[in-house]
């Protein structure tokens, strides 16, 4: 395998690693937000919180 090919593969792998880290971070934040909102809705009653938001915007 020529050296230029090795370098290209290495750079591509590093780029993929950064993308993978970003993907994991985004996935974790999405899961956390989903769980957080689900817990808040079940504890406070989803209908009541929706009404409160509607009153605030009015």
What's residue 13's pLDDT? Answer: 80
Quote the percentage of the chain above a pLDDT of 90.
29
Residue 4 pLDDT level (bands cut at 50, 70, 90) = confident
Q: At what angle do helices 3-44 and 46-57 cross, to 10 degrees?
A: 100
Tell me the C-alpha distance between 24 and 30, whole Å: 10
- Regarding pTM above 0.85, the answer is no
Give the Cα separation of 48 and 33 in Å (integer): 19
Q: What is the pLDDT of residue 53?
A: 66
Q: Which residues contact 31 (CB under 8 A, 6 or more apart)?
A: none
Mean pLDDT estimate for the chain: 81
10, burial (CB in 10 Å: exposed 0-12, middle 13-18, buried 19+)? exposed
Position with higher pLDDT, 18 vs 8: 18
């Amino acid at each position: 395998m020529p050296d230029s090919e090795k370098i290209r593969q290495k750079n591509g792998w590093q780029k993929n690693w950064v993308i993978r880290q970003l993907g994991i971070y985004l996935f974790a934040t999405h899961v956390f937000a989903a769980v957080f909102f689900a817990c808040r809705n079940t504890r406070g009653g989803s209908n009541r919180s929706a009404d409160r938001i509607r009153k605030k915007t009015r």
